Structure 1
């Protein structure tokens, strides 16, 4: 477990940048208590429909919180790597918006909750578009928009941007990529239906490779928390200060995450946790508290909706302890941590 605290000012005992050491220790205690409370929860099952995912250790459980000032707090197996899976979708949507603008992007994908499973083969009957970028159909449409020639150039561009957000170089798990490619017939069916509807172009193989490769990117809880904190920090990486995302478009991505990020659990998530978030079938969840912090959690055993059991429990507890909910009276913008005092 680790924490980093901001340096104190000689004038008033407050940190020049970040939280006080005492407050940092309180935050660390919150994370430690949540980890201890839920580490032995054994509900759920590890995803096996992608064979490589079934090899995950079901006992792993990690939590990380990263503030927009660059403070990092961790508990448990925070440094265990896993593939990002569907948690790549908000970032891909961001890149599509940056590359094509909202008008063109929204001709290919909608922003409405679907109420269906993440891999549902259903489109909006009125528009013919996938319902939103957080389900597989929408994510494949987005991948078609951000792929490049040659196809590896698009994958490399995605990796480079995500690495800037995470604060370290990221890589693809080639075994998972091969497993996804071999078993991804349902996604192939979705892609060809998108082609038939005129949503994606004829380079179906390339669009799918972009999508499968994005999902196969390796991250840990700290990476997720820092990527989320970068979004929360209006696109600026908290540690390096580098502008990674166009801040004028992040609001659209967060809005779709808030309404669609947890599949058909999205309504309950908005009610109970109340922040933009995205989950993945590898067992990760990341959440953004606007202008304040990012959260990354990991535990591979999933519930019936495909969300991490321990991850959901941990995020609910964090929201309760820290007043994270967007409509909680104690959430007062970047000063929310004062409510721990």
Structure 2
């Protein structure tokens, strides 16, 4: 029975593989090159290490570059279990259709930000103070598992405070919102991230500051041996990271413990005020918290983690349901308001993306429904955030429509990578033609100022000038004649704007266009 099901599945994927081959086939050829397949995978963002296509990659590596593949040879390479995913990517059905363009823009931002030299590495423990200050890496993973990375992307680092959203999510998933927030608040503190203070209910203000994270640690598998508790957390990190196991820096753990006077003070202060659950072992809880801060990862794994949050708790590269969607919603809400230490309010205002930073120089951002982005650059500003990380964030939202509220602002300079360019161009043409048909010069001016080509045409080849002429909108026609390079465009039926004005009986518009058409070429447009 099992063999029959496999055979049926392979047979059903045959047409899908055929479509992929046809999409990659050069004009006038009946074969493709092996490198064309590699290029197609890279262009749509499918990494060769992606477990979802490992069978296809394994088959592909058996063929030398330069080798030609006919239809049958291609069918032997693309594994049936990978066919649908590859077909989606090649067809542009992933969340970011033009991934090559997206990579290029991210690369441009990375290159500019790499020139920023300000900041100092954390020096409260030797392990952080000795890190190469010039390290810089960024990685992106989308909700469809499209991935790429730049810079020192294999360099591992301690997660430090970026562990806090994970710890909070583990506690929420296990206990529920009400149980967790009986012991920790959910408001920005308005004070220093490690200040000796509690809210009006004698609880730590939120899970993203030290006191709140210590409290969250106390809620994860309480009563179990410390080794078992830490092992369970490491398993969650592995699941969030696409199945790749994270590391642990014991030297950092020991140094954190030796220099933790403030964290010990916070813990005893909370115990004094009765904030911990009954029976909490304070010293074990602190060790557990320091262990979580000492987990190590790299930007590629952290981007996968961030993308899992962006995908509602489901890991994009493994389809593992790590957290409930309700849990992720709560975590992102607090990352947005409290995730960047004492810079959280300004970051929410100017960047507008849920994010969490750590004093190691780590920072991850979550663009819900789109992607996760992770950065590593050890030089910090006075508030403990990565200087390059913050600058990258600013430039990111100056380039892409990723700010939470970008959608309510009509800014044509911002790129929405989720939409194919052909769709954006078609929408722009529709807006412009509609404004021209109404004679709305103010709207036409606004659209032109947003870098929309005044000569852009719709599916039928009709331009704004065609529509204004058809409706007899003389002022709009006069204005468009001054800015259009081509004042004689022909639609799919071979009609010019002058033909439209005549057909509709708009004598005034007809006269304006006749005069413009009679003028010397250098006076037109």
- The secondary structure found in structure 2 opposite 1:244 is coil
Question: For the structure 1 residues 239 and 205, does the alpha-carbon distance in structure 2 shift closer, same or farther, using more than 3 Å as the test?
Answer: same
Alpha-carbon shift at residue 94 of structure 1 (Å): 0.8
Q: Is the 8 Å Cα contact of residues 159 and 360 (structure 2) preserved in structure 1?
A: yes
2:215 is equivalent to residue 141 of structure 1: yes
The aligned counterpart of 2:295 is: 217
2:255 is equivalent to residue 185 of structure 1: no
Alpha-carbon shift at residue 185 of structure 1 (Å): 1.5
Q: Which aligned pairs between 1:153-192 and structure 2 lie closer than 5 A?
A: 153-167=228-242, 168-192=244-268
Partners in 1 of 2:408 and 2:301 — Cα distance?
A: 27
2:319 is equivalent to residue 244 of structure 1: no
1:40 aligned residue (115, 139, 160): 115
Alpha-carbon shift at residue 305 of structure 1 (Å): 0.9
Alpha-carbon shift at residue 102 of structure 1 (Å): 1.1
Alpha-carbon shift at residue 243 of structure 1 (Å): 0.5
Larger radius of gyration: 2
Alpha-carbon shift at residue 50 of structure 1 (Å): 2.5
2:380 aligned residue (279, 302, 311): 302
Partners in 2 of 1:50 and 1:234 — Cα distance?
A: 36
The aligned counterpart of 2:227 is: 152
2:45 is equivalent to residue 5 of structure 1: yes
Partners in 2 of 1:44 and 1:13 — Cα distance?
A: 42
Alpha-carbon shift at residue 45 of structure 1 (Å): 0.7
Larger mean Cα displacement after TM superposition, 254-263 or 32-41: 32-41
- Structure 2 unaligned regions, length at least 5: 1-41, 47-84, 422-525
Partners in 1 of 2:148 and 2:261 — Cα distance?
A: 40
The aligned counterpart of 1:197 is: 273
- The secondary structure found in structure 1 opposite 2:138 is strand
Q: Which aligned pairs between 1:328-339 and structure 2 lie closer than 5 A?
A: 328-329=406-407, 336-338=416-418
- What does the per-residue CA deviation read over 1:271-322, in whole Å, with 9 as the maximum and x for residues that have no partner? 1111111010000110111111101011001001110000001111112222
Which structure has greater helix proportion? 2
Q: Is the 8 Å Cα contact of residues 325 and 331 (structure 1) preserved in structure 2?
A: no
Q: How many residues align?
A: 334
2:141 is equivalent to residue 55 of structure 1: no
Partners in 1 of 2:370 and 2:270 — Cα distance?
A: 38
Q: TM-score normalized by structure 2?
A: 0.61
Partners in 1 of 2:270 and 2:313 — Cα distance?
A: 31
2:312 is equivalent to residue 234 of structure 1: yes
- The secondary structure found in structure 1 opposite 2:230 is helix
2:91 is equivalent to residue 14 of structure 1: yes
Q: Is the 8 Å Cα contact of residues 259 and 270 (structure 1) preserved in structure 2?
A: yes
Question: For the structure 1 residues 205 and 85, does the alpha-carbon distance in structure 2 shift closer, same or farther, using more than 3 Å as the test?
Answer: same
- The secondary structure found in structure 2 opposite 1:301 is coil
The aligned counterpart of 2:73 is: none
Q: TM-score normalized by structure 1?
A: 0.92
Q: Which aligned pairs between 1:57-96 and structure 2 lie closer than 5 A?
A: 57-96=132-171
Partners in 2 of 1:31 and 1:198 — Cα distance?
A: 48
- The secondary structure found in structure 2 opposite 1:329 is helix
Alpha-carbon shift at residue 31 of structure 1 (Å): 2.0
- Structure 1 unaligned regions, length at least 5: none
Alpha-carbon shift at residue 136 of structure 1 (Å): 0.2
- What does the per-residue CA deviation read over 1:99-148, in whole Å, with 9 as the maximum and x for residues that have no partner? 21111111110011012222111111x20000110110000000011144
Partners in 2 of 1:135 and 1:321 — Cα distance?
A: 30
Partners in 2 of 1:63 and 1:331 — Cα distance?
A: 28
Q: Which aligned pairs between 1:267-286 and structure 2 lie closer than 5 A?
A: 267-286=345-364
2:190 is equivalent to residue 115 of structure 1: yes
Partners in 2 of 1:250 and 1:117 — Cα distance?
A: 25
1:313 aligned residue (391, 404, 413): 391
The aligned counterpart of 2:202 is: 128
Alpha-carbon shift at residue 74 of structure 1 (Å): 1.3
